[in-house]
């Protein structure tokens, strides 16, 4: 049981690392395009899909798809990393409790 729990924690850590690298590449690609176009936005605007659609997209319609991609990938990355971090913490806690 102990080996299984350690294996699960290691696999989850590697999954979190892969997710982070994958989405970081996607987010940076869209971000570079937005920076070249001098698209200005705040973190609050990007994190709220409603605000993004109402405030940023109408101001920069030629970058609408890049703005949507950037916001969606950023939110998805944060959600996935949060879930994986919670799972790692839970399994790590179980591992510590089981070992005692």
Return the sign of the alpha-carbon dihedral for residues 86, 30, 14, 12: positive
What's the whole-number average pLDDT of the chain? 87
| Number of Cα atoms under 13 Å in the Cβ half of residue 95 | 15
Question: What is the domain partition of the chain in residue ranges?
Answer: 2-99
Is the pTM value of this prediction over 0.85?
no
CB distance 5 to 87 below 8 Å? no
The mean pLDDT value for 84-89 works out to 84
Confidence of residue 23 (pLDDT cuts 50, 70, 90): confident
How far is it, in rounded angstroms, from Cα 97 to Cα 71? 39
| pLDDT surpassing 60 at residue 100 | no
- pLDDT tens-place string over residues 30-48: 899 999 989 999 989 989 9
């Amino acid at each position: 049981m102990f080996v299984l729990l350690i294996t699960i924690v290691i696999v989850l850590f590697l999954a979190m690392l892969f997710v982070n690298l994958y989405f970081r590449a996607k987010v940076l690609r869209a971000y570079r395009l937005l920076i070249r176009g001098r698209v200005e936005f705040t973190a609050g605007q990007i994190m709220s899909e409603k605000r993004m659609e109402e405030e940023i997209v109408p101001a920069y319609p030629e970058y609408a798809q890049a703005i949507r991609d950037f916001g969606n990938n950023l939110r998805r990355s944060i959600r996935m990393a949060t879930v994986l971090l919670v799972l790692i913490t839970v399994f790590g806690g179980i591992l510590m409790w089981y070992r005692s």
